[in-house]
Amino acid sequence: MQHDMKDIATRMRVDIIEMLAAAGSGHPGGSLSACDILAVLYFDKMRIDPADPKDPDRDRLVLAKGHAAPALYAALAEKGFFPREDLVTLRKSNSHLQGHPSMSTTPGVEMSTGSLGQGLSVANGMALAGRLDDRDYYVYCIMGDGEIQEGQVWEAAMSAAHYGLDHVIAFVDHNRLQIDGDNDEVMTVNPIDEKFHAFGWNVLTIDGHDYEAIGRAIEEAKATKGRPTVIVAETVKGKGVSFMENQVEWHGVAPTAVQAQEALAELGAQ
Amino acid sequence: MNTATREAFGKALAELGAIDRDIVSLDADLSCTTKSATFAQAFPDRFFNMGIAEADLMATAAGLATCGKIPFASTFAVFAACRALDQIRNSICYPGLNVKVVGTHAGPSCGEDGGSHQAVEDIAVMRSLPNMVVVVPADDVEAEAVVRAAAEHVGPMYLRFARLASPTVHEEGYEFDLFRGEVMRDGADVAIIACGMMVPRALDAARQLADEGVSARVVNMHTVKPIDEELVVRCARECGRIVTIEEASYVGGLGSAVCEVVADRCPVPVKRIGMPDCFGKSGLGAGLLDEFGLSAEHIVEVVRAL
């Protein structure tokens, strides 16, 4: 599994670089940091079938940090929701691949996101619907660490715990950087684990680039009854492309053609 | 009979809940006064109190809608339109989700709570959102019909209800058409286009004008968006003058919607009556309406001066 997952995640990273270079804009840093989590979800853990995309029993994923859309699109294309050739149309005016995920245009996208802080509430709503209908699907929500500065995240954290939504499994992609700099310089978010714990959540902290650890955490979350789980994934912004790693400058800038070649060569060697 | 449209909302929603199991209700700690509590009592498993958290309320409703539920998310109009606007925009209207946003206690008739609680901008704000349908029922009979129509219409909708009881102007069994305005009284000299609890006042004004020999048509434009353009154009052509009245700011609401149609398709003089460009204040709801010029007498004066 490790080997396959590494291959898949590397292909997704290649796609992300190619997409962003073709688009000339977008967010590489947070796409690359969330890539391994998405790979494990889409290619190991999530119950989804591109041939039956509206199956009411399917697992759902809300990419609350919508600016990581390239990583989601790479996973969806790899999974077969739409042709891989579509990827290079990202952010173009005739493309179904919007700059931030749009459920109205892109097959496999479960929720339109982009304005930060709303995804966890949406995930809660999906989980409440599943409970009402006696369905057993899980709802995954991927948040950014900067995103949890939004007050609504804590409204949603409160309500997920209040309603005991044990089918909500949230991730915080803790890459420690946001547009204006280090999280804690911009606005202190730490300690993330203690905050969620105080709100009544089951909290797990893992290495967000360790496929085995991601998988184990998801299984542990599923085994936890009566409360939601948040997995604080310690990640590296720009992971996999050495000159992007831990560099805040790569939050929202696309690589030039030359930089993209350099990044692809590095990924190809992996 | 004098009943507040919010009362009719609670009753109609509870009735619908018995018929359609996909209907769910969410509120933000105001269910006793928005009247979603009527539904909550009947169907506690399908009611979700989200606490005092309107942003979470709206986006949770969006999540429920993605799974085929028909959520009615209720709170005061001012909190829906202003505090939760981003959630209504990005999580409901942008993906076109089937959420019914219910705003009660709209307008100055909300009364004693004062300007902080009296939505004056909600019609304008909601009307500007792509995909949104905006409905302001005139009385309790129409409010019940609007709730039923909301459950049938697939897509985002804003339902505006009032705190204050107001006169019933529709017979039971009135056939409501969501996308067609209603001519409640015919007339040829001027058309008074109203919505919400201004409709009975417009009818009063028309009766007073009739005594003066002025034949006023009264239109109940319950659906402000998409507005019944053909009816507006017909009013412009056949009456030549239009007065609009709404219990909201005269900036951007029903009056503006009518002006847009008239300017595009059949320019005639239009006079808009609404809250002047100001916030409300504490006082008795009915008294405040008169004070802000939202009265039959003011309509008559405006028509005379046209």
Q: Say if residue B230's pLDDT is above 80.
A: yes
From the CA of A155, how many Å to the nearest CA of chain B? 6
Name the one residue in this structure whose structure tokens are 């996308």. Answer: B179
As a whole number, the mean pLDDT across chain A is 97
Q: How far apart are CA A88 and CA B196, in angstroms?
A: 50
Could you give phi then psi for residue B174, rounded to 5 degrees? -55, 130
What is the arithmetic mean of pLDDT over B223-228?
98
Whether A57 and chain B come into contact, CB under 8 Å, resolves to no
Which value, to the nearest 10 degrees, does the dihedral of the CA atoms of residues A11, A14, A19, A20 take?
140
Count of A-B CB contacts under 8 Å: 111
Query: In DSSP terms, which residues pair with B73 in a beta bridge?
Result: B26, B101
User: Rounded to an integer, what is the distance from CA A48 to the centroid of its chain?
Assistant: 16
Yes or no, beta carbons of A155 and B53 under 8 Å apart: yes
Q: How far apart are CA B130 and CA B202, in angstroms?
A: 30
Query: In DSSP terms, which residues pair with A178 in a beta bridge?
Result: A181
What is the arithmetic mean of pLDDT over A100-107?
98
Nearest to A115 among B50, B69, B90 (CB): B90
Nearest to B66 among A110, A155, A159 (CB): A110
Nearest residue of B to residue A128, measured between CA atoms:
B64
Yes or no, beta carbons of A129 and B59 under 8 Å apart: no
Computed on alpha carbons and rounded to an integer, the radius of gyration of chain B in Å comes to 18
From the CA of B121, how many Å to the nearest CA of chain A? 23
Q: What is the pLDDT of residue B2?
A: 84
From the CA of B61, how many Å to the nearest CA of chain A? 6
- The edge-to-edge listing of strands for the beta sheet with B47-49 is B47-49, B23-27, B70-76, B100-104, B157-160, B133-135, B223-225
Nearest residue of B to residue A141, measured between CA atoms:
B63
Residue A38 identity (one-letter amino acid): L
Residues from chain B that touch A67, judged by Cβ atoms under 8 A, are none
What is the arithmetic mean of pLDDT over A185-191?
97
From the CA of A126, how many Å to the nearest CA of chain B? 5
Please count the structural domains in chain A: 1
Q: Which helix (H) or strand (E) holds B254?
A: helix B254-265
Could you tell me the residue range of the domain that residue A127 belongs to?
2-269
Q: What is the pLDDT of residue B1?
A: 63
Q: What is the pLDDT of residue A161?
A: 98
Nearest to B46 among A56, A117, A132 (CB): A132
Domains detected in chain B: 2-167 (3.40.50.970), 182-305 (3.40.50.920)
Q: Which of B54, B182, B246, B247 is catalytic?
A: B54
Q: Say if residue B236's pLDDT is above 70.
A: yes
Q: What is the pLDDT of residue A1?
A: 57
- Which tokens is A207 given? 């290495």
**B281: Cβ–Cβ under 8 A, 6 or more apart, which residues?**
B108, B114, B115, B288
- Say what percent of chain B tops pLDDT 70: 100
Tell me the residue length of chain A: 270
Task: Name the H helices within A133-256.
Answer: 151-162, 183-186, 192-198, 211-223
What is the predicted ipTM? 0.97
Whether B96 and chain A come into contact, CB under 8 Å, resolves to yes
Q: Say if residue A203's pLDDT is above 90.
A: yes
Q: What is the pLDDT of residue A3?
A: 65
pTM, rounded to two decimals: 0.97
- Which tokens is B19 given? 């018929």
- B215 touches B124 (CB < 8 A): no
- What's the number of CA atoms in the CB half-sphere (13 Å) around residue B95? 28
Whether A59 and chain B come into contact, CB under 8 Å, resolves to no
Computed on alpha carbons and rounded to an integer, the radius of gyration of chain A in Å comes to 17
What is the arithmetic mean of pLDDT over B25-48?
98
Q: Any catalytic annotation for residue B260?
A: no
Nearest residue of B to residue A151, measured between CA atoms:
B55
Q: What is the pLDDT of residue A269?
A: 74
From the CA of A257, how many Å to the nearest CA of chain B? 33
Residues from chain B that touch A159, judged by Cβ atoms under 8 A, are 50-51, 53, 56, 60
Residue B55 identity (one-letter amino acid): A
The CATH number for A82's domain is 3.40.50.970
Residues from chain B that touch A129, judged by Cβ atoms under 8 A, are 63-64, 66-69
pLDDT band per the 50, 70, 90 thresholds, residue A79: very high
What is the arithmetic mean of pLDDT over B40-59?
98
Query: In DSSP terms, which residues pair with A62 in a beta bridge?
Result: A141
Task: Name the H helices within chain A.
Answer: 2-23, 28-40, 69-79, 119-132, 151-162, 183-186, 192-198, 211-223, 257-268
Nearest to B67 among A113, A129, A158 (CB): A129
Residues from chain B that touch A62, judged by Cβ atoms under 8 A, are 63
Q: What is the pLDDT of residue A2?
A: 59
Whether B131 and chain A come into contact, CB under 8 Å, resolves to no
Quick one: which of A158, A19, A27 has its CA closest to A77? A19
Whether B29 and chain A come into contact, CB under 8 Å, resolves to no
Nearest to A125 among B62, B86, B94 (CB): B62
- Which tokens is A76 given? 């969806």
Question: Could you read off the pLDDT of B108-160 as tens digits, one per residue?
Answer: 999 999 999 999 999 999 999 999 999 999 999 999 999 999 999 999 999 99
What is the arithmetic mean of pLDDT over A182-194?
97
- Which tokens is A24 given? 């000339």
